[in-house]
Structure 1
Amino acid sequence: MADTEVKKIICSSCGAEFEDTLPKCPYCGSLNYKGAEAEYLGKLESMRQDMQQLEQVPEKELKKKLKKKQKFVIKLLILLAALAAILAVIVFRAQYIEPRDARADYLWEKENFPVLDRLYREQDFEGLTDFYEQAVIEDRTIDRWEHSGIFTRLMSCRNAREYLALEQSGETLRDYQETQLLDDYWILRGLEYSRGMSEEDKEYIRPYVEATLNSLADRYTFTAEEEKKFEDSLRNNYGYPRYEDCKEYITKYNE
């Protein structure tokens, strides 16, 4: 039987987890080159088949069909332009972005994964988060570490604590900061729905997640409808809320 398991990747821009077949991150919109390339090739094949079908239509009938489907033709041209733009990005990446150095990746993992294992055993959540942030900056293959699924929630914990610290220092959070804080809150609430980590890792990180959630316990008041809307989003998106819903909530209650 063929392996139908969908591979998950972590967005290098926002840290969210999503399927590698998607053309862009569903949470921050960053381009996923592998998914974009697959989407482009799929649409290109679909258009090729459409053109083959048009070639089989008699000339008079073809003119009638084209006349009736002018809107379709316009949309097709727009789609072609969009696909050409995606292809240009893919070609640029292939030509000008250097391929990964497999040996360098291997040596980095050999040296640093034991460090991560030690931090994990010591339950040094701050140390793990610091290590992750630096690895992302350096474009390291930290996502290959066996417990890498915990990093999204660790980052949400850090973000939430930093925003709360800003408030405690006397600053007023702006709407986009409030939105990000609410997004992190629901990411932490979505721990149970995450498919990016083992049950063991969920239990490992749970006390740290719950401590962060407790610090936000009195911050939000949701109606039953709002609660259901967010919960449904977590259930359908592997533990992640829709950023648009968070933005809508903050806008509504800050008016």
Structure 2
Amino acid sequence: MAEPDIALKQRKCQNCGATISVIEPKCPYCGGFNYEGAKRKYFRDLYRIRDKLKQLEEIPTESYKAEVSVQIKRIIKILLICAVSIAVIYGIVALFFKLIDITDGFNQADPKEQLLWDRENFPMLDEWYEAGEYDKLLEFSYELYSADKVYTYVNWQHEDFIWFYAYYRDAKDAMEKIQQKEKYSSYDITTAIYGGLNICYNLENAGLDEDEIKRLEEYKPTMETLLFDLLKFTEKEALQLYEDALEYGFLNFEKIEKYASNVIKRLD
């Protein structure tokens, strides 16, 4: 039976040890960083920004011109230009502050420090990748965002691979809950679908190189079992959801989250 609210899922703060909701991006007691909650917030905010930008592109202008009388046409044009300019400026400012909010609380290393960090750590990351020690890479990436000063591996050549491996691991964790008949939340089902669709359908479209795709394809049979056996998807249904959720080469997490309610009903 699914949990009615993902907020019921809890974990301990790595900084102070307090019990907090898994969706909290920061500990409400000490302000410590919570990776899982921050990752969820990041994706939700990212997709909202994309949706807002898409809506901005679709705003009609011709409908306004029909209402403008000949006598005040010149004045209205000026007002429209001003209005559009204000809207664009407002949109840029809103987007800027939204991006600041996403990264709020991060003490980001400056470019020079980051470059030195890259030179020191990338050889180690390459060794783990070549050896197939992906869990080490994943754990290392989690630790980066809980440090006092945050360094990133965005310049590392296999950064996208780690994201896809993380999708797989999250889906695999949810899969084990379902198999063991443990309580699961709508977020668990969403991450299960998200990881399954990414591994089964999105590897060729995500900018991964041939070696990365080959490594990730090893997990495809497991994700097919998750989608088609445990979550009871048909191949047509899974492919349709993938196509509906695909935007700019990424899957829209919120669209999959909405669809997850249908999956939960047939699992109950």
TM band (smaller chain): 0.5 to 0.7
- Measured against aligned partners, the alpha-carbon deviations of 1:152-191 in whole angstroms (never above 9, x if no partner) come to 1110121122223444565311223212221121121234
- Structure 2: where are the runs of 5+ without partners? 1-36, 58-67
Structure-2 separation of matches of 1:192 and 1:87 = 29
CA contact 2:174–2:192 (8 Å) conserved in 1? yes
Higher RCO structure (Cα 8 Å, ≥6 apart): 2
Q: Distance in 2 between matches of 1:147 and 1:77?
A: 40
For 2:126, give the aligned amino acid. D
Q: Give, as a single letter, the amino acid of the residue that structure 2 aligns with 1:186.
A: L
The aligned counterpart of 2:264 is 254
Which residue number in structure 2 is paired with residue 126 of structure 1?
135
How big is each residue's C-alpha offset from its partner over 1:92-150, in whole Å with a ceiling of 9 and x where there is no partner? 78xx9877422211221121111111101211121121122223444323011112120
Distance change (3 Å), C-alpha of 1:31 and 1:219: closer
Shift of residue 88, structure 1, vs aligned partner: 7.2
Distance 2:264 2:93 in 1: 38
Seq. identity, %: 17
**What displacement does 1:212 show?**
3.7
1:197 aligns with 2:208: yes
| CA apart distance, 1:89 | 2.2
TM-score relative to the length of structure 1: 0.61
Which aligned pairs between 1:109-124 and structure 2 lie closer than 5 A? 109-124=118-133
Check conservation: 2:122, 2:156, Cα contact below 8 A. yes
The answer for the alignment partner of 1:29 in structure 2 is 45
Q: For 1:68-98, what per-residue CA distance to the aligned partner results, in whole angstroms no more than 9, with x for missing partners?
A: x9xx89x8699479438517728978xx987
Residue in 1 that maps onto 2:223 = 213
Q: Distance in 2 between matches of 1:84 and 1:143?
A: 24
In the alignment, what sits opposite 2:72? 61
What root-mean-square deviation, in Å, do the aligned CA atoms of Structure 1 and Structure 2 show?
4.6
- The number of equivalent residue pairs is 208
Shift of 1:200: 2.0
Kept after mapping to 2: 8 A contact 1:153/1:187 = yes
Determine if contact 2:108/2:151 at 8 Å carries over to the other structure.
no
SS in 1 for 2:157: coil
CA contact (8 A) 1:119 1:127 kept: yes
**Superposed displacement of residue 243, structure 1:** 2.8
> Of 139, 144, 151, which aligns to 1:135?
144
Q: Secondary structure at the match of 2:182?
A: coil
